[in-house]
C-alpha cells in the first residue's frame, strides 16, 4: 500500500483488519481478528489475557502483526512512511502511562508534543506546543497542576496526564487502554464527556473491564482468547443473553455463569430450567454469557 | 473617539498571556542547551534522556576518578591504560540506559508518535556521548601523560556507542552494551598481550579500526531502523 491510497486527514479514522494474528511468548494473543470500524466509540471487553492490549498495540502500530492485513485510513503500518502518517493521526494511552516521578506535568506532556511534532511549520513551534499542552491539560482538568511533579499526583490524576498526552494534536484515532482504571466516579464522568465530545470526529477505541463504560459507547467488541466473539451496539450485547438469564433462590446446577446477589438469590446464565424466573438481561449478562463456556454435564 | 472591541479577540489574547505566564520555566540544563543554540525541541529531547540523571553523572565521575587514580607517571604509556580502557565504556553504558522500555517510562507512548525511533536513539546517544566526552576531556587533562594520548578514548567511544546502537536492533539495550563492552575489553587486553606496547589498541591502527566500527554500526542501525519503531515484546 502506498501513501497515494491514503484517505485524507480530517474526520474519523477508518480501520479495516482481516485475519489479524499475533503471537507473544509462544501463545497466540490474537487469532484471526476481523474489524471494520469508522467513527464513534468502541469499547473492547474481554477477560485478562483475552488480547485487548495486544489488539490496541497492533492498532497503535507499536506491535507488528504476524499475519493478516491491517489498514488504517488506507495506510499499511508495515510500511515505514505509512506508519509515520498513521502515527500523526493517532492518540494512544497505553495501559502503563509511564511517568517519571520527578518530572513536572507540563514537561511530560510537552515532551510528547515534541515527539508528535506539534507546531511543525509554524514560526514559533515552542509557543504552539505550549498552547497545545495547556489546551489538553485544561480538557482533563489539570490546568492548575502544570508545575506539579507527577510523583505528587494521585493515580487518577496520573491517568489524566496520560489521557492529556493522547489528546494532543486532535487525533482522528484515539486508542485508550483501560482509560477508566483508577479513576474516581467524578473523573470517570469527565472521561466519558471527553470521549463523547470526540465521537463525531474521531474513532475512539477503549478497552475496559467495566461494562458501565461499554454501555455508553456506540459499539462493543468482545474478545475471548484472541478472537472477536461479538461486535455490535450495547443493546445487542445484552440481547445475546435474552431468554438465558434467570434468578433462582436455590444453589444453581451446571450453568454458564452464576453469582450470588445481595438479596440472597442467584443470577444465572445459560439454558434456563423449566419454570425459571427469567429476567431482562443487562450488558454484563450478555458479556458474561459470551465469555463463559457452556457447562459440561 | 470610540473604540470597538472584539470580545473573542480579547479572550484569545488573555488566554495567550495566561499560558505564557503559567507555563513553567525550563530547567537549568534545558536553558543552558538553548543558550548554546540547540532548538527547543532538541533540547527537550536531550533533557528527557533517561540516562542523564544525577546518579549517572555520579557514576561517570567515580569511574573516571578510578581510571585517573590508576595512572602512574613513573611508567610511560602504561599509566593511561586503565583510563583509556574504561573511558569508552562510560558513554556506552549511558546509551544503553537511554533507550528502551526498561530505561524510559514513556517508551511505549513515544513509539506511537511520528518521531522516528532511530532519530530518538541517535539524539539520545549523541547527548550521552556529548556529556561524557566533555567530562572525560576534563579528566584526561588531569592525566599525567601527554594530553594527545590521553584523548585516545574519543574515537573508540564513538565506535563502541555506534556498535551498541547497532546491536540494539538485535537484542535489548543493556545486553547490547554488555556484549559491545565485553568485546571491547577483550580486544584491548588481547592487543596489549600481543606486543610490547600496552597501548597497542589505541595506536593509529586501533583508532582506524574503531572508526570503521563506528561507521559500520551506524549503517547497520540505519538499515535495521524499523526495530526502533516497534515494541520489543517477544
- ipTM confidence: 0.89
| Residue spans of alpha helices (H) in A140-154 | none
Contact B106 A98 (CB under 8 A): yes
The more confident residue out of A179 and B203 is A179
Q: Is A116 on the interface with B (CB under 8 A)?
A: yes
For B:24-53, CB contacts with A below 8 A are 24, 40-41, 44-45, 48, 50
Find the mean pLDDT for residues A155-164: 92
For A66, name the nearest residue in chain B, comparing CA atoms only: B234
CA distances from A182 to A91, B35, B133 (A): 20, 41, 44
User: Nearest CB to B44: which of A104, A114, A162?
Assistant: A114
CB of B145 within 8 A of CB of B71?
yes
In a domain, A297, yes or no: no
In a domain, A186, yes or no: yes
Nearest-angstrom CA–CA distance, A146 and A133? 9
Is A17 found in the same domain as A155?
no
Is B192 found in the same domain as B103?
yes
| Last-in-domain residue among A168, A194, A211 | A168
Report CA dihedral (B79, B81, B83, B85) to the nearest 10 degrees: 180
In this prediction, residue A111 carries a pLDDT of 94
Is B67 found in the same domain as B141?
yes
* CATH number of the structural domain spanning residue A1: 3.40.50.300
Confidence grade of residue B76 (pLDDT, cut at 50, 70, 90): low
Contact A114 B41 (CB under 8 A): yes
Report CA dihedral (A166, A209, A50, A140) to the nearest 10 degrees: 0
In a domain, A152, yes or no: yes
Contact B19 A111 (CB under 8 A): no
Contact residues for B62 (Cβ-Cβ < 8 A; gap 6+)? none
In this prediction, residue B149 carries a pLDDT of 67
Is A245 found in the same domain as A104?
no
In this prediction, residue B23 carries a pLDDT of 84
Is the pLDDT score of A83 beyond 90? yes
User: Nearest CB to B230: which of A63, A92, A97?
Assistant: A63
Is the pLDDT score of A59 beyond 60? yes
Number of domains in chain A: 3
Q: Is A114 on the interface with B (CB under 8 A)?
A: yes
Is A79 found in the same domain as A186?
yes
Find the mean pLDDT for residues A144-167: 92
Is A40 found in the same domain as A14?
yes
User: Nearest CB to B24: which of A61, A147, A175?
Assistant: A147
- Highest-confidence segment of A96-100, B13-17, B177-181: B177-181
Residue range(s) defining the domain that contains residue B24 = 8-47
Residue range(s) defining the domain that contains residue A104 = 97-168
Q: Which of chain B's residues have a Cβ under 8 Å away from the Cβ of A106?
A: 23-24
* Assigned C-alpha cell, B67: 581510571
Query: What is the distance of C-alpha A237 from the center of its chain?
Result: 17
In this prediction, residue B148 carries a pLDDT of 64
User: Nearest CB to A25: which of B16, B104, B234?
Assistant: B234
In a domain, A296, yes or no: no
Q: Tell the residue number behind the cell numbers 501463545, with chain if given.
A: A27
Nearest-angstrom CA–CA distance, B30 and B46? 8
Amino acid at each position: 500500500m502506498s501513501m497515494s491510497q491514503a484517505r485524507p486527514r480530517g474526520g474519523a479514522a477508518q480501520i479495516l483488519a482481516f485475519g489479524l494474528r499475533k503471537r507473544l511468548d509462544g501463545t497466540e494473543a490474537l487469532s484471526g481478528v476481523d474489524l471494520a470500524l469508522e467513527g464513534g466509540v468502541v469499547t473492547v471487553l474481554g477477560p485478562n489475557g483475552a488480547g485487548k492490549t495486544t489488539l490496541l498495540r497492533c492498532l497503535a502500530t507499536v506491535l507488528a502483526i504476524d499475519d493478516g492485513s491491517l489498514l488504517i485510513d488506507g495506510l499499511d503500518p508495515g510500511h515505514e512512511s505509512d506508519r509515520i502518517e498513521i502515527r500523526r493521526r493517532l492518540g494512544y494511552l497505553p495501559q502503563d502511562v509511564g511517568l517519571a516521578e520527578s518530572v513536572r506535568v507540563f514537561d511530560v506532556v510537552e515532551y510528547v508534543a515534541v515527539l508528535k511534532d506539534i507546531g511543525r511549520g509554524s514560526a514559533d513551534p515552542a509557543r504552539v506546543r505550549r498552547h497545545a499542552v495547556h489546551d489538553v491539560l485544561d480538557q482533563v482538568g489539570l490546568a492548575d497542576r502544570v508545575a506539579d511533579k507527577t510523583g505528587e499526583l494521585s493515580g487518577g490524576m496520573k491517568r489524566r496526564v496520560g489521557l492529556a498526552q493522547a489528546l494532543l494534536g486532535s487525533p482522528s484515532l484515539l486508542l485508550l487502554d483501560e482509560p477508566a482504571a483508577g479513576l474516581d466516579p467524578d473523573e470517570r464522568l469527565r472521561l466519558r464527556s471527553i470521549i463523547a465530545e470526540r465521537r463525531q470526529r474521531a474513532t475512539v477505541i477503549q478497552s475496559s473491564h467495566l461494562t458501565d463504560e461499554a454501555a455508553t459507547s456506540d459499539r462493543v467488541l468482545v474478545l475471548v482468547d484472541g478472537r472477536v466473539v461479538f461486535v455490535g451496539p450495547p443493546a445487542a450485547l445484552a440481547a445475546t443473553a435474552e431468554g438465558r438469564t434467570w434468578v433462582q433462590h436455590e444453589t444453581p446446577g451446571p450453568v454458564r455463569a452464576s453469582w450470588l446477589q445481595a438479596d440472597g438469590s442467584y443470577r444465572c446464565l445459560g439454558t434456563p430450567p423449566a419454570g425459571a424466573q427469567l429476567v431482562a438481561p443487562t450488558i454484563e449478562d450478555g458479556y458474561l454469557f459470551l465469555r463463559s463456556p457452556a457447562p459440561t454435564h | 473617539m470610540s473604540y470597538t472591541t472584539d470580545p473573542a479577540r480579547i479572550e484569545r489574547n488573555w488566554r495567550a498571556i495566561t499560558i505564557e505566564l503559567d507555563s513553567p520555566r525550563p530547567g537549568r540544563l534545558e536553558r543552558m542547551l538553548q543558550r548554546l543554540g540547540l532548538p527547543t525541541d532538541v533540547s527537550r529531547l536531550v533533557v528527557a534522556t533517561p540516562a542523564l540523571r544525577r546518579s549517572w553523572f555520579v557514576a561517570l565521575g567515580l569511574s573516571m576518578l578510578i581510571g585517573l587514580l590508576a595512572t602512574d607517571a613513573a611508567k610511560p604509556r602504561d599509566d593511561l591504560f586503565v583510563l583509556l580502557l574504561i573511558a569508552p565504556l562510560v558513554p556506552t553504558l549511558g546509551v544503553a540506559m537511554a533507550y528502551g522500555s526498561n530505561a524510559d517510562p514513556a517508551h511505549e507512548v513515544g513509539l506511537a508518535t511520528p518521531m522516528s525511533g532511530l532519530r530518538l536513539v541517535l539524539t539520545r546517544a549523541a547527548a550521552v556521548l556529548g556529556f561524557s566526552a566533555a567530562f572525560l576531556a576534563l579528566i584526561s587533562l588531569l592525566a599525567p601523560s601527554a594530553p594527545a594520548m590521553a584523548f585516545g578514548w574519543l574515537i573508540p567511544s564513538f565506535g563502541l556507542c555506534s556498535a551498541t546502537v547497532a546491536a540494539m536492533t538485535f537484542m535489548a539495550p543493556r545486553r547490547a552494551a554488555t556484549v559491545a563492552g565485553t568485546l571491547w575489553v577483550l580486544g584491548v587486553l588481547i592487543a596489549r598481550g600481543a606486543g610490547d606496547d600496552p597501548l597497542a589498541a589505541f595506536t593509529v591502527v586501533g583508532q582506524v579500526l574503531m572508526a570503521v566500527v563506528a561507521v559500520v554500526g551506524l549503517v547497520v542501525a540505519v538499515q535495521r531502523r524499523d526495530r526502533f519503531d516497534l515494541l520489543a515484546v517477544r
